[in-house]
Amino acid sequence: MVSMPDDLLSEVDAEATRLGTSRSAVLREFADAALRRRRTDRAAAMDRLLRQAARHGGAAAERVKATRP
């Protein structure tokens, strides 16, 4: 069971009526969309962090190897 304020539930019910579907279907779709968006946002944030990290140190390993006999 999920609890939510009456005004929010009314909006969900209105959306279900508009779409011709059930309250559960609307909530399922909203949850899926929100979680998908969150995964996408996290992946984008990780990509940004990794791109920034790549700039630090640059070719350090190649430089160290170049000094070895």
User: Are residues 26 and 19 in contact, defined by beta-carbon separation less than 8 angstroms?
Assistant: yes
Would you give the DSSP letter of residue 20?
Answer: T
- How much is the pLDDT for 53? 74
Cα gap 29→27, rounded to integer Å? 5
Residue 60 pLDDT more than 80? no
| Long-range Cβ contacts of 20-28 (<8 Å, 24+ apart) | 27/2
- How much is the pLDDT for 59? 76
- How much is the pLDDT for 15? 97
| Model pTM score | 0.64
Cα gap 16→14, rounded to integer Å? 5
Cα gap 40→20, rounded to integer Å? 29
pLDDT digits (tens, 9 = 90+) for 36-54: 999 999 999 999 888 877 6
